[in-house]
Amino acid sequence: MKKSKLYKLALSGLLVALTVAASPLSIPIGASRCFPVQHLVNVVAAVVLGPGYGVGMALMTSLIRLGLGTGTLLAFPGSMAGALLCGLSYRYTGKLSLTCLAEVFGTGILGALLAYPVATLVMGREAALFGYILPFGVSSLGGALIAALVLIPLRQTGLLGRLAPAHRA
């Protein structure tokens, strides 16, 4: 059964609110704030809502956290790259394991590399090109593992199928 746009929008809003509310759980490492809850939500959004909603949620969460002072500009490239790769991975494979790995690669590698120009050009900070890979990687790995611990039992009990729309290709 295909879920309505209203369902997807409401669930997106709830997940963004959850992610923003959990921002005190961030772990500052260097110039970035590692935020495992964002990575958990990226994987959940990929499975339940698809890549478009996942990227939109990552953008909105980053904007709200920046406005509240609980996030930095570095959250934008990391969260959005991870959300996009997660969503595409789940859409085309349907495999939770690959979706979790896509989050780690998307945020931990691609997002970290995209954070370098944001840090140096926009924020005016000195940074090494590969300097964000370790903190982003650790954060995304933690969030992806938590997502797997949440989603695998939901899949086994059949509840995941009731939450996730038919958005796979």
Q: What is the mean pLDDT of residues 110-133?
A: 81
Question: Can you give the pLDDT at residue 95?
Answer: 94
| pLDDT for the residue 132 | 82
**Residues in a beta bridge with 29:** 32
Q: Which residue has the higher pLDDT, 63 or 31?
A: 63
Domains of the chain: 5-21+35-160 (1.10.1760.20)
127 token code pair = 């940074």
Q: Where are the beta strands (DSSP E) in 11-158?
A: 27-29, 32-34
Q: Are 64 and 58 in contact (CB under 8 A)?
A: no
The pTM (predicted TM-score) of the whole model is 0.86
Kindly report, residue by residue over 77-97, the tens digit of the pLDDT: 989 999 999 999 999 999 999
How would residue 1 be classed by pLDDT, with cut points 50, 70 and 90?
A: very low
Q: Which residues pair with 33 in a beta bridge?
A: 28
- Coil, helix or strand for 128? coil
- pLDDT, tens digit (0-9, with 9 covering 90-100), for 57-79: 999 999 999 999 888 888 899 89
Give the per-residue pLDDT at 25.
80
Higher model confidence: residue 118 or residue 12?
12
- Mean pLDDT over each residue of the chain, to the nearest integer: 87
Q: By mean pLDDT, which of 42-46, 82-86, 160-164 is the weakest?
A: 160-164
Q: How many angstroms separate the most distant Cα atoms in the chain?
A: 50
Residue 15: name the closest of 79, 69, 105 by CA. Answer: 79
Mean pLDDT, residues 16-43 taken together: 81
Report the share of the chain in percent with pLDDT over 70.
89
* Greater pLDDT, 103 or 72: 103
Rounded to an integer, the average pLDDT of 98-111 is 95
DSSP for 132-144, please give it.
THHHHHHHHHHHH
